[in-house]
Structure 1
Amino acid sequence: MADHVTSHPARTHVRTHSPRLRPRPAPRPRRRQQPGQHLRPHPGRSRRPPHRRRHRLPRQRRHPRSTTPLSVDDLADQLVAAADAEGLDRFALSGFSLGGSVAIRAAARHPERVTALVLTATFQYRDNRLALASSVWRKIAASGDRETLAEFLLMMALGTQALESMSSEQLQETLGFAAATAADGSPEQVDLVGQVDVRDDLAGIKVPTLVISTTDDWVTSTALHRRLAETIPGARLAEIAGGHLPMLERTDEWLQLISDFLGKH
């Protein structure tokens, strides 16, 4: 079975399949996850799809901020180079938002390397809604006002149910966390959003593809998600009721979709 590389604008992960060498203990009973329950990273181990181990590759904050404009082609090649550094020959790619656009370009530029695609809340080009959102995002990020940037991004990224389920204290805590962890390279990433157009790559994608559509997404519209699934040959469309961040709002549901899909491909 192929390895699994996760593409994200700010980080890249590699997950490899490994057999269970001994029986796993019975899982502890747990409460049913509610929308928006995991809006901050847990200080302990993060949840992962079953039977995978993850090798962390270099993250953006460990490298100098780019002094030249970002490009989708360069990021796609860097993603494959990261897999090379891990000794991976062929692998599945999972991309979120802008990372999904990069994953599509990587599959188009390196078709012999990619075995499957998972595209979450991904856009193939910047539509009018994303153009307006990215314009405001760019201006706030360039101003250095991290608190206002956090307010804007939280308002745009979270679905209605997840956002309204938070108490005032939880909201302020989440805003503080978002402001403290905002990437310095946000302006460059937003500039790249305006340049992305991978529509010409879609018809040539020949690997199994899962498109995960976030149905209450104020950043990338469900219309973009549907067009992705309609244009990539044989792509499967799955919907998650939530905003732009299903890995936080609907963690278990999102991971299960990916695990089930990659388990078959």
Structure 2
Amino acid sequence: GAHFMTNVGFTKRFWLSLLVNFGGMLGVLTLVRYIAHTNAYVYSVLALAWFVGLLMFDLKLFGGYVQAQGRVFKQQKGRHLLEVIILFILLEVVVALARPVFRRFLPSETISGIVQYHLPTDQLIGLVMSFFISIGDLIAAFVEELAYRYESMYTFRTKGKLVTGIMVIVSSLLFGFSHYYNFNGSFVATMPYVFAGLVLALGYLKTKNFWVPALAHLLFNSIALLSTIFLLIVFIIQKIVG
């Protein structure tokens, strides 16, 4: 409840959250990639385990705030759900416009030497693992909102407009840069996600409710899950009919 309002700025919790969510994200995924090498299944299991652990860590830090914000969200559910939809659409539009601009900075997998893991979608085990990885994407969306939008940005709103503005930019850059491996090791190529971070940050500041950017981000990340569920259904039907 109320203690969250006084715990703002560059606190120990801020640095711990930053260390674990940003430093840990890149550090652990680097280690996981080293262990997995080219094996997509090993990478998927270890990466999912990391995200589940991160979720537990962040809920321990921010669980009280998440619950309190959930109660506020329910009080004006209709308005907030409309805000979620608007923010989701804005997110899709901004990322769609930015991707072609920054695609030229995306190095090829051969040049970067960074493996992009692909699970076979024509095999049941590949589809099942893809399903769990898609769940991992949803967990990632949730913890990213806690780390980058709440702790690294929203808590600074009482420090004045200048500080808040700076932290909006800093948190959005960190959010984008945390997707370093998604873009073959190019920080410049992560810029579409930096802009996505700005959209989510401004949405949070406007609505003053954590669940609005969190649900918009969850919707954005749910496309892979919906695609996997569709492919699973098609696969099962083919096996039954065949």
Higher strand share: 1
TM-score by length of 2: 0.30
Name which structure has the greater RCO, CA cutoff 8 Å, separation 6+.
Answer: 2
Bigger proportion of residues as helix? 2
TM-score w.r.t. length of structure 1: 0.28
